[in-house]
Amino acid sequence: METDVKAPKYSLNEEEEKKEIVRQYRALLKSLKPKLKTGHRELLRLAFEMAADAHKTMRRKSGEPYILHPLAVARICVEEIGLGVRSTICALLHDTVEDTDLTLEDIERAFGSEIARIIDGLTKIANVVDNNTTQQAENFKKILVTLTDDPRVILIKLADRLHNMRTLDSMKREKQLKVSSETVYVYAPLAHRMGLYNIKTEMEDLAMKYLEPDIYREIARKLAETRRERTRYINDFIRPVKEKLERAGLNVEVYGRPKSIHSIWNKMKKKGVAFEEVYDLFAIRVILDTPHDHEKEDCWKAYSLITDMYTPSPERLRDWLSNPKANGYEALHTTVMGSQGKWVEVQIRTKRMNEIAEKGLAAHWKYKEGTNDESRFDKWFTQIREALAQDVSSIDFLQDFKTSFLAEEIYVYTPKGDVKMLPVGATALDFAFSVHSAVGSKCIGAKVNHKLVPISHKLRSGDQIEIITSNKQKPHEDWLNFVVTTKAKSKIKDALKEEKRKVAADGKYVLQRKLESMGASVSQANIEELTSFYKMASPLDLYYQIAVKNIDLKELKEEFQVLGDKLVLPKVVKLPEPEIKAPEPDNSRPALKKESELIIFGETSDKIVYTLANCCKPIPGDDVFGFVSTGKGLIIHRTNCPNAARLMSNFGHRVVKTKWAKNKEISFLTGLKIVGLDDVGVIHKITNLVSGELKVNIAALTVEAKEGLFEGNIKLFVHDKEELDVLVDRLKRLPGIEAVERYDTELN
């Protein structure tokens, strides 16, 4: 997916609108034709008419009639995910209960309880009472509760999200940021986990278009420029491969596949290379038409023939034939050296495997019919059900769900040779808890491939693990720093809570004695007053901190008065502090404009205090957003900040639209990493250019030289991104400089 998807400007009259709606409905029926049985057309027509009537007065932000959205979602469900008639009915009606006068009862009367239940799963929770969570997290948790009963809920939700991403151009900037962040944080990984690779890829590319527009456009431009050259290269590579495979009696299709913009950008960041150096821009797919019982044999035969022609990279072989991924994906991947010294990724799979790779869970069901084996999806759903049963806030659940259930998985073995699936990053302790919570709680170490390792040891695919336990062992708080699975986290937290309660009982007794000696009662009001005074989250925490002597109760008499039997804080009047003028211009005084559009460093008199985020250090010209944080006020982050997706996904309601005002008076600290050949005078050339020619103020410069290469970190003050871009460009042109990139680590 290389093209920049633009929503068409909307300009249809009423008559044309009606024709367009009918055209879309007919296209949907045409896609469904192979799946239609007696009575289906009537049901579909009823669903369409109910949806069209319910949404008749509504329009989307682009101006088009709202009904075109459910029609588009239904077409994605059928054409791109491979769902059937019942899912199509649900897709057509998915927004009615939330946005119109139609009720779940109306839907149940017309279509039955199954369809009503799916639509209920797709209907957002209107308001959230619990302060420890957010609407996004609650709604996501609700979808997952329904997912484990009927996975069609999540597939329709993914189709809905994909269409929203395709039509995001007509939305306001802050809405684009929020929706894109949520997509990349949760929905793209979920599409990947459901085996929908094409949808996952398109979601990531579209999100990047809004979150990192400059980089997106730059890579798209370079891909467009090199398209003809790449097509020629791929065709020259494919021709002899196809001929050789066909001569060997294999019925095969071979075609090239462009890498997505998002995956190219990930490679560039991970490897620290320029676009031109991303070695597997070229990907070839080999699809074999072969009987089920010959699939493995023929895939390995194709692999053998291809690696006879081209040298493979030994560490780039991925065998998902012997051990398919948890989402059902099966294939052989290898990277071979083509002509002109270019690496080419080759994916080998059969037609059945290809359908599962593209349609995910829906295709998986199709091939599973008639077999009674418990699929990997079923096991996954069981694990999600267990996680949902734990008593944790929705935000914590969403975070755990991401690390536990959306990560790539590894395969490890028990001492008896049984296979267990764990997320990437799982430790020996995660494995112990996956065996049994009692084994995890008593784990003191492990043997991985017969070698002794600590419980925090990270596992790799193929490891065989034996857990060592001791009855004296009990869970520790620092265990939470390295376990990744939801089961391990929740069991450790439960054990710590229980331990905390035992310790807190002593603290409660000490506090009671103290209050009695002061003549105060042990009432709920007094306990709440003390909990608030010591800034504790709960009375349990207060008792615990007293028990472990972190709170000294001697100060109670000095701090509180006792009136009757009540604890009262005496009123203290504080004099205003003298105003101190800083010699530097103040970096924390932006102005607030109407519609909460923050113009940073504007000239109006309405001042609002903000700080620049340390995690990404924005400078004028960067794409930014404001985030209202509890206790710290407004914090400005770059939209591509490592924390942006998490903040906007979980707390979208706290995002404030921001943009920079021109102000050349204020300088901002930023950092550059420079790599080059360790040549005499190279540092002099750099400082000469930065300070001498460009008059940019250097705050610090550190250089490390090793084996003919040097790596320099330079902290400097710039006025805006434009000035920084000019500086980076000039540095790159210096002889011997290999790479210059901005770094986001904290610059304090």
Phi, psi dihedrals of residue 277, rounded to the nearest 5°:
-100, 0
In sequence order, which residues have a C-beta less than 8 Å from that of residue 597 and are 6 or more positions away?
657, 658, 659
Question: Is position 168 within any domain?
Answer: yes
343 with 285, same domain: the answer is: yes
Question: Is position 98 within any domain?
Answer: yes
307 with 160, same domain: the answer is: no
Instruction: State the average pLDDT over residues 559-578.
Output: 60
Q: How wide is the angle at C-alpha 669 spanned by C-alphas 667 and 674, nearest 5°?
A: 125
Residue 573 has pLDDT above 60, yes or no: no
pLDDT in tens, 435-469: 888 999 999 889 998 889 899 999 988 889 999 99
Phi, psi dihedrals of residue 456, rounded to the nearest 5°:
-85, 0
Determine the Cα–Cα distance for residues 225 and 167; give it in Å rounded to an integer. 26
pLDDT of residue 136: 66
Q: Is 4 left (phi over 0), alpha (psi -120 to 50) or beta?
A: beta
Determine the Cα–Cα distance for residues 199 and 191; give it in Å rounded to an integer. 7
272 with 305, same domain: the answer is: yes
Of 268 and 379, more confident: 268
pLDDT in tens, 84-115: 899 999 999 988 888 888 888 999 999 988 88
In sequence order, which residues have a C-beta less than 8 Å from that of residue 442 and are 6 or more positions away?
469, 470, 471, 473, 474
> CATH number for the domain including 451?
3.10.20.30
Q: How confident is the model at residue 376 (pLDDT cuts 50, 70, 90)?
A: low
Question: Is position 388 within any domain?
Answer: no
475 with 561, same domain: the answer is: no
Q: How confident is the model at residue 663 (pLDDT cuts 50, 70, 90)?
A: low
Question: Is position 674 within any domain?
Answer: yes
Three-state DSSP class for 88? helix
504 with 641, same domain: the answer is: no
Three-state DSSP class for 567? strand
Helix (H) or strand (E) segment spanning residue 571: none
Residue 417 has pLDDT above 60, yes or no: yes
pLDDT in tens, 242-257: 999 999 999 999 988 7
pLDDT of residue 185: 83
pLDDT of residue 377: 66
Determine which one of 20, 79, 99, 108 is catalytic: 99
Most distant CA pair in the chain, distance: 99
Least confident of 154-168, 183-197, 272-286: 272-286
Residue type for 156, please?
I
Instruction: State the average pLDDT over residues 65-83.
Output: 91
Determine which one of 16, 49, 53, 98 is catalytic: 98
Q: How confident is the model at residue 675 (pLDDT cuts 50, 70, 90)?
A: confident
74 with 201, same domain: the answer is: yes
60 with 139, same domain: the answer is: yes
pTM exceeding 0.85 = no
Three-state DSSP class for 391? coil
Question: Is position 390 within any domain?
Answer: no
In a 10 Å sphere around its CB, with 0-12 CB exposed, 13-18 middle and 19+ buried, how is residue 517 labelled? exposed
Question: Is position 389 within any domain?
Answer: no
Decide if 99 is catalytic: yes
Residue 747 has pLDDT above 80, yes or no: no
> CATH number for the domain including 238?
3.30.460.10
Q: Is the dihedral of CA 64, 65, 69, 72 positive or negative?
A: negative
Question: Is position 172 within any domain?
Answer: yes
302 with 227, same domain: the answer is: yes
Q: How wide is the angle at C-alpha 176 spanned by C-alphas 153 and 619, nearest 5°?
A: 140
Residue type for 189, please?
P
Q: How confident is the model at residue 127 (pLDDT cuts 50, 70, 90)?
A: low
Residue type for 248, please?
A
Q: How confident is the model at residue 595 (pLDDT cuts 50, 70, 90)?
A: very low
Token digits of residue 465: 């693990």
Least confident of 136-145, 167-176, 367-376, 541-550: 367-376
Phi, psi dihedrals of residue 698, rounded to the nearest 5°:
-90, 130
266 with 341, same domain: the answer is: yes
412 with 333, same domain: the answer is: no
Domain boundary among 453, 484, 515: 484
**What is the Rg, in whole angstroms, of the alpha carbon atoms belonging to the chain?**
30
Decide if 138 is catalytic: no
Number of domains the chain contains:
6
Question: Is position 166 within any domain?
Answer: yes
Determine the Cα–Cα distance for residues 527 and 513; give it in Å rounded to an integer. 13
> CATH number for the domain including 677?
3.30.70.260
Cβ-contact 165, 55 below 8 angstroms: no
Domain boundary among 344, 366, 388: 366
Q: How confident is the model at residue 27 (pLDDT cuts 50, 70, 90)?
A: very high
Domain boundary among 435, 463, 484: 484
153 with 288, same domain: the answer is: no
Instruction: State the average pLDDT over residues 163-191.
Output: 87
Helix (H) or strand (E) segment spanning residue 625: strand 624-629
Report strand pairing: 633-638 vs 610-612.
parallel
Instruction: State the average pLDDT over residues 310-317.
Output: 85
Instruction: Write out the E strands in 534-613.
Output: 561-563, 566-568, 591-592, 598-600, 610-612
Q: Per residue in 233-264, is it b (16+ CB within 10 Å) or e — as a string?
A: bbeebbeebbebbeeeebebebebebbbbbbb
Quote the domain boundaries for residue 66: 14-211
Determine the Cα–Cα distance for residues 727 and 741; give it in Å rounded to an integer. 11
271 with 329, same domain: the answer is: yes
pLDDT of residue 596: 40
Determine the Cα–Cα distance for residues 725 and 718; give it in Å rounded to an integer. 10
